[in-house]
Amino acid sequence: MGLNYKKILGVNITIDNEEKILEEIRKYLKTKNKEQRTENKKTINPFIICTPNPEIVIYAQKDSVFIEIVNTAQINIPDGKGIVWALKKIFDIKIKPIPGADLMQSLCQLAAGNTYTIGLIGGRGGLALETRKCLRKMYPKLKIEVLGEPEVEIKNNKLQIIPPQRDPASGGTNYKEQKTNLIISDDLGRSININKYFDNLVQQIDKQKIDIILVAMGFPKQEYFISRLSLVARLAARQVGRWPMRRPLVMMGVGGSFDYIAGRVERAPDWMKRAGIEWLYRLLVEPWRIKRQLIGSQFFLRVIISTCCQGATLT
């Protein structure tokens, strides 16, 4: 039957529980066992997971390309009590939050139990390697590879990125090009040719038979990165010889989850998570987050105003 969604300030939010979300991901990954490997085989589009929280929803209000990227994702988990509060306030729907770090570990557990291969992208200073080491200890059967730790920047007048609004192959008339600028650098800070980088990355994903990619760059970088990678992967899959297996590929932006897994940053105690104040713990541990928290606080005011107006944009 698929998943269910509601819009909060124009951003799609998945309202199903984690168990149903994981079942949807399982079904998608199993499609590779049903497809015959022929030159004319139908392309399997990547499956994208985003993690909207109040900060991300507010950011989406000012970035039309970003909101399109998020809204075309297959899953947008309610990452935090703020989103859960808004769903209750607007739609009288009561659900549990699904932290991105928790869903990431659920995906690793799913992969370990089904011989899927995880690919890690992002982090700095060997963080992805540390994360791989820790995940292997947590899930001994897990197959996991590091695909690189590129430095990503979004700047004007540097590079044109065209994130998809709708898959051209679907015949949708709403697909159109929108240009955004993305810069990728190597470990030495040298800029990398963007087209060559993504072409090589797609080949690496295919060669290493990656099924699930976890991208840790923080928003909005990871969403733009995933959008570009998704587009390049789909185009490659339609060209015979470039991605001959045309396998399913799950991609998720995981923000600072590598820091948690590797032990560089401690997560809040369980009682703070249950109380919905994990954000306060993160603020105490990382005071630099104060600006982001203040921006995110706009979310609650906008939800209250929108609820009072009961505008059609919320339905």
- Position 15 scores a pLDDT of 97
Does 62 map to a domain? yes
- Domain with 281 in it: 14-30+41-149+209-309
Does 200 map to a domain? no
The 10 Å CB-count burial string (b at 16+, else e) for 239-275 is eeeebeebbbbbbbbbbbbbbbbbeeeebbeeeebee
At 171, is the pLDDT very low, low, confident or very high (cuts 50, 70, 90)? very low
The tens digit of pLDDT for each residue in 236-260 reads 766 655 554 467 899 999 998 999 9
Lowest mean pLDDT among 77-81, 84-88, 188-192, 302-306: 188-192
The tens digit of pLDDT for each residue in 191-224 reads 677 888 888 899 899 899 999 999 999 899 999 9
Closest CA to 104 of 227, 253, 248, 247: 253
Does 51 map to a domain? yes
Does 221 map to a domain? yes
Does 162 map to a domain? no
Tokens of 202: 């797609």
> Strand, helix or coil at 153?
strand
- Position 31 scores a pLDDT of 77
Residue 148: which region, alpha, beta or left (left: phi > 0; alpha: psi -120 to 50)? left
pTM, two decimals, is 0.82
Does 67 map to a domain? yes
Does 111 map to a domain? yes
> Strand, helix or coil at 50?
strand
Does 86 map to a domain? yes
3-state secondary structure 13-33: EECCCHHHHHHHHHHHHHHHH
At 278, is the pLDDT very low, low, confident or very high (cuts 50, 70, 90)? confident
Residue 11: which region, alpha, beta or left (left: phi > 0; alpha: psi -120 to 50)? beta
Residue 285 main-chain phi, psi, to 5 deg = -75, -35
Tokens of 34: 């049903």
Domain count, the chain: 1
What single-letter amino acid sits at 233? Answer: A
**Are 292 and 58 a contacting pair, CB within 8 Å?**
no
